Amino acid sequence: MAREISLFEAIRTQRAIRRFRADPVSDEAITRVLEAAIRAPSPGNRQSWYFLVVRDPETKRRIGEYYWQATLEAQREPGYAQIASSPVYRSADDLARRIGEVPVMVLACVEVRGGAAGPPGRGPITLGAAIYPAVQNLMLAARGLGLGTCLTTRHRRFEREVKELLGIPDHVETAALIPLGYPAEGEHFGGSRRRPTTEVAFYERWGRKKASA
Amino acid sequence: MAREISLFEAIRTQRAIRRFRADPVSDEAITRVLEAAIRAPSPGNRQSWYFLVVRDPETKRRIGEYYWQATLEAQREPGYAQIASSPVYRSADDLARRIGEVPVMVLACVEVRGGAAGPPGRGPITLGAAIYPAVQNLMLAARGLGLGTCLTTRHRRFEREVKELLGIPDHVETAALIPLGYPAEGEHFGGSRRRPTTEVAFYERWGRKKASA
């Protein structure tokens, strides 16, 4: 194996990869990204997470159909036209057409029994604290192994259908669908555009940009 | 600076640190963890995140009071007695008493305007996809610098009051309160207890544990 990637290099160079080579991903690599996922913080150490790994072509194809239908629905909504021309959305729409063919899909799932307030599928933002840190660990570990991922949620428009297809019980929700595979030619890690911390970090009080030591 | 920690070592040894030395945390270290946070995935690259760094003793003390009140409220609820004896909760309750004295608090905030369905503070679990990957990057980067953190949300019972205290606008929510500081003597990284991946990973279909290659 190549040298171990440093933490800060992995963080700095992670970016959404949306085109993949057809090469398979080994069981060992999948296990390593899952081992990373379960090291993430877990509220009250309840570990209410599950990870569903899908490599069966027919299952991926069917999930991909829902994903594409969800994309078409989103495209018909007011407001989509404004964002659709951005590079991120064009790339995301390209992925949506081909997502059924990615080498691996990982569905990150979380139990919501007892945790969600209100009707199913709704709750405080803090519900996500039980699953997205693990998703991020999984994606960083993938980066560390040279595997591309991106964090997608569009399939949630067909949450019921996807859960039925995969046999996911009622008290569990899918929080993310993560395509996993080696980046296609022309895809590269690094270079994500971000507003600098000077614009998004405040000190002592909202809006105060100067650090007080 | 010491050698760069490897990605997989940082992931493997991250754990909740809830007792801190009084030593201050440098501006440089704070900037580094924030730089890590903003490299996380962001839906549609909207970067709807903000990070509020609090070191002012009086502000921390007042947030700490809300946090302790929230803890007392939680302790009065049915069901708390069962979990309160677990080491995680005892440690969390100990932190709750002293959280106003941690060297640094970071409030991870997220815009919810246009994103949240339904009443304020409620939405699909996927709202958290916009902030918790960044929170996890921040916490991993802290681990990489030898700084302890834990992911807390109890202050959310006093979300309105905390937002007012810090001047946080209506369309922004606080998703996490992250204490940050050097671990107290006796605190150590590593050794978090987790169910193995063989219990939480399924292949092709919910409940199927054997990997199909």
C-alpha to C-alpha distance for A89 and B44, rounded to whole angstroms: 7
Yes or no, beta carbons of B211 and A27 under 8 Å apart: yes
Yes or no, beta carbons of B140 and A139 under 8 Å apart: no
Establish if A39 belongs to a structural domain: yes
Rg of chain B over Cα atoms, rounded to whole angstroms, equals 18
The answer to whether B14 faces chain A, any CB pair under 8 Å, is: yes
Residue A213 has pLDDT above 50, yes or no: no
Domain that residue A116 falls in = 7-200
Establish if A103 belongs to a structural domain: yes
The beta-carbon neighbor of A206 closest among B5, B52, B132 is B52
CA distance A76 to chain B (A): 17
Number of domains in chain A: 1
Site of tokens 């009071």: B65
The pLDDT value recorded for residue B122 is 65
Phi, psi of A153 (to 5 degrees): -140, 5
The pLDDT value recorded for residue B79 is 80
CA distance A104 to chain B (A): 10
More confident residue, A85 or A109: A109
Residues A11/A140, Cβ–Cβ less than 8 Å: yes
* pLDDT tens track for B45-99: 999 999 999 999 999 999 999 999 999 999 998 888 777 778 888 899 999 999 9
Residues B149/B63, Cβ–Cβ less than 8 Å: no
**Which among A126, A154, A162 is the top mutation candidate for probing chain B, defined by the most B β-carbons within 10 Å of its own β-carbon?**
A126
Establish if B103 belongs to a structural domain: yes
The pLDDT value recorded for residue A115 is 47
Residue A211 has pLDDT above 80, yes or no: no
Banded pLDDT at B118 (limits 50, 70, 90): very low
Taking Cα atoms as reference points, which of B48, B56, B34 lies closest to residue A198? Answer: B34
Establish if A38 belongs to a structural domain: yes
Residue A122 has pLDDT above 70, yes or no: no
Chain A: residue whose CA lies nearest to B212: A55
Phi, psi of A48 (to 5 degrees): -85, 30
Yes or no, beta carbons of A51 and B173 under 8 Å apart: no
**Which among A7, A58, A110, A155 is the top mutation candidate for probing chain B, defined by the most B β-carbons within 10 Å of its own β-carbon?**
A7
Establish if A208 belongs to a structural domain: no
Residues A131/A110, Cβ–Cβ less than 8 Å: yes
* pLDDT tens track for A123-146: 788 999 999 999 999 999 999 999
C-alpha to C-alpha distance for A173 and B127, rounded to whole angstroms: 13
Residues A4/B6, Cβ–Cβ less than 8 Å: yes
C-alpha to C-alpha distance for B70 and B95, rounded to whole angstroms: 13
The beta-carbon neighbor of B6 closest among A6, A40, A52 is A6
Establish if A63 belongs to a structural domain: yes
Would you call B48 helix, strand, or coil by DSSP?
coil
ipTM entry: 0.95
Establish if A1 belongs to a structural domain: no
The answer to whether B131 faces chain A, any CB pair under 8 Å, is: yes
* pLDDT tens track for B76-86: 988 887 777 78
Residues A180/A106, Cβ–Cβ less than 8 Å: yes
Residue A109 identity: C
More confident residue, A116 or A73: A73
> Would you tell me which residues 153-172 of chain A have a C-beta closer than 8 angstroms to some C-beta of chain B?
153, 156, 166-169, 172
* pLDDT tens track for A151-175: 999 999 999 999 999 999 999 999 9
Establish if A94 belongs to a structural domain: yes
CA dihedral sign, ordered B119, B123, B129, B131: positive
Would you call A88 helix, strand, or coil by DSSP?
helix
Write the CB contacts of B103 (distance below 8 Å, at least 6 apart in sequence): B20, B21, B22, B23, B24, B25, B55, B180, B181, B182
Banded pLDDT at A104 (limits 50, 70, 90): very high
Alpha-helical segments (H) within B39-173: 57-75, 80-84, 87-98, 132-144, 159-166
CATH code where residue B164 lies: 3.40.109.10
In this prediction the pTM is 0.95
